[in-house]
Chain A
Amino acid sequence: MNPMNRMILKTLTATALLAPLASFAAALEGQAEKQPLNLTAILMFVAFVALTLGITYWASRRTQSRADFYTAGGGITGFQNGLAIAGDYMSAASFLGISALVFGSGFDGLIYSIGFLVGWPVIMFLIAERLRNLGKFTFADVASYRLDQTSIRILAAAGTLTTVAFYLIAQMVGAGQLIKLLFGLDYNIAVVLVGVLMIVYVTFGGMLATTWVQIIKAMLLLGGASFMAFMVMRHVGFSVEALFEQAIAVHKDGQAIMAPGKLVKDPVSAISLGLALMFGTAGLPHILMRFFTVKNAAEARKSVFYATGFIGYFYILTFIIGFGAIVLVGTDTFYLDDKGLRGGTNMAAIHLAHAVGGDVFLGFISAVAFATILAVVAGLTLSGATAVSHDLYAHVLRKGKVNDKDEIRVSKFATIGLGILAIVLGVVFEKQNVAFMVGLAFAIAASANFPILLLSIVWRGLTTRGALLGGGLGLVSAVTLTVLGPAVWVKVLGHATPIFPYDAPALFSMTLAFLGCWFGSVTDRSARAKIESARYIEQLVRAETGYGATGASNH
């Protein structure tokens, strides 16, 4: 390896390691260079858009009631929902970011992807079927089942909207940078394009269109990544040993890429991040909402199994892709310039697509990356809009006395509003470092949404006061500790040392949330608390058996 390449790899590795632990948008941070207009990619993307708009038109004719709009009428099968969940969860940032992390430091990329997977079994064992049995459209339906409708729904909507907002900003900024990079389009045009398409999918096609956009995207992404991994394995004669040997031979860190590097700094950060990823997944509103699209608990369980399988398989592929990129991209000067990878760190998988499949496959993968962003933002927006229309408008403002037509109308306006907000925030945050936002979204989901959801299901003693205290504490502490931590206090606000030393606040904010729920509940001697506890029996029977649960709507 020549000194030039050695230096490039060193810079790359350093960049990858500096990426904040809790943020897989890390690879998308910084300014992407605008590339020349990529016609193949644009043509393939236009084909994808045409197909999904066709589906949206088809879905719009089938979307009449609230149940249609929010949950596709509950008629999605477990397998379809599993694919859609995978499509909702596997973002472009995780595809490009994790493969870039593997490219830069090998084994560390694996640690990262594992964190994003292990939340799924937890969802399966603790949440999925009971959520399906108790809820209708949002997780607030479940949290407020026997608690005070008004205040709990406001809290749940606040948790939903902050989670969605931070996740959405990270996705929009990532989308703008990525599209500038892949398609050679202007950043602002890219952000507006993503925003407008997402508004169209959700407003006209509701959950049915969103689901199919996610399913198609999941198949394209899994298909494309499988092909890349296959070509990498073919290159090394289908020998895992050979792949690792060749990667070690050309990587500047040598054998060190086969073991944990500097990604995990200290045990507290590691455990805190692990908690955020594991339990945050079980508190992401757009993921939880997907469980209402299937007809019963049995299908909800199947959804989680298929989703876990697809997502786990995908992460194994990104590992092979990252190592393949070390061998095929990191040694080829065609993909490198004086700063490292042409186009930036997160281009490892994109360049590998070109290395194994030429211009046409490069165009395909670029189009898939764009489709991936669209599917994720559509799911996020729908869940945010549902929190506004179903929780805030229908239940808090109108006390449940509202017809389908009005509620859907509010939902569509909320979608348009959120879409415009996402575009504006995407433009505003263009030059900001948004890498911490995905980590923050997971931390809020783990500290505000997950504790009140779990405790309302499993603990008879939870009262409205306890949930408000715990959920409120979780939300406020997750945001505050993130702002005072290194990712924002130092990297965004420019202070010399952080007030709170860890990137991931979940260990502390989750503890506060659970303590708050417990303390607020056991000290609650009100008459309302007694009623809430007495209502647990009916909730328990329904949660465990699905007796009285909402079935699929009939057309």
Chain B
Amino acid sequence: MTNTTHAEPRRTPTNWNDQAMQERIRGRYASERRFRLLGLFAVLLSAGFLAFLLVTMAANGARGFTQTEVRVEVDFAKSALFIDPAALEGFGADAALAGADIDGAVQTAVRAQYGESADGLLSDAAWLRVRDAILEDPALLNRSETFWLPARSGLDQAAKSDGSAADEQIYRQLDDQDSVRTGFNLGFLTGADATDPTVVGIWGAFKGSLFTMLVTLALAFPIGVLSAIYLEEYAPRNRWTDLIEVSINNLAAVPSIIFGLLGLAVFLNFMHLPRSAPLVGGITLALMTMPVIVIAGRNAIKSVPPSIRDAALGVGASRVQVVFHHVLPLALPGILTGTIIGMARALGETAPLLMIGMRAFIASPPGGFTEPATVLPVQIFLWSDEVSRGFVEKTSAAIIVLLAFLLAMNGLAIYLRNKFERRW
């Protein structure tokens, strides 16, 4: 050995202080720094996109929660409005009010107060608030009353210093007279869809989402948990089980719009279930959410150590008792975490619901599972199509509400995972 090494010419030892070597090392360290900065840049850019998105939505949306109101004094006694107070008792009230020209009375009052040019001061739906007030207290009809009514969309924008010059001027005039105010828009949280951006609300869509999610949860959770138990604990290794596993894994990766096509072809055209109903939307989303729950459930059940099962079997439990008395309770936190994440995804889903007709204009909140409804994400989509400037802030405000719910659900899932997760 030694002879052979000595026979070859001896390598000169690396001279680390050599100029060329120093430069090469510097170069390598510089490239190391560049690479590291590149990584940091990528992370910051990705996070920056998220921050930019959230800030854009928050900046646009915060204004959606406020609205501008104009003070209008309506003297019902002097107005041309004629409504028989007796008609306002009981069932005929709606018909009686629909027949009366409340809108005209309000317009007259506005003109009397702000001059002839003030026709376009109020939102088209402002008189509805007066109508509701009369309905609540028919005695109003005999006196004069001061109302704060929603301003026209353009004026509302002007109040938020984003309107046209003409609107800004009107707003300043009104502001000097102290007859305009901007406050929290309660109607946005309690109302339903409308054609006028100043009076739209998300309660209708929210209720639709709630009904849809209830159906989804009621179907996807039991089915998902039961299949997870079967596949993980009982299924024999054969072709059928493989088929079930393959279809569950594939279903988890199928684009959501395909589920919409399925819902349209099977539930609407074949089974003739009602269109636009939370029932159909819920079933469709349940088919989509189920694989997520199955996969999460299987992982949770798999992580329960076999010793638990052996011990239960050892003291004489049957195989069903082993699973339902011992394994399932221990796996439940993991299953719940997966379920909440799956439900959060279903809550934000839009495309399949468009397919089954949940994009209709629904002006009143749904009363049941089979009534036409829309859901929050679809409502956002519908509003985003509107050309009116006032809808931009409403869309962003609805997005803020949706994101808040998703954040809360994901936060709950993380909390559950941290609190109940067990390392065996």
The yes or no verdict on A and B being binding partners is no
B residues with a Cβ closer than 8 A to A are none
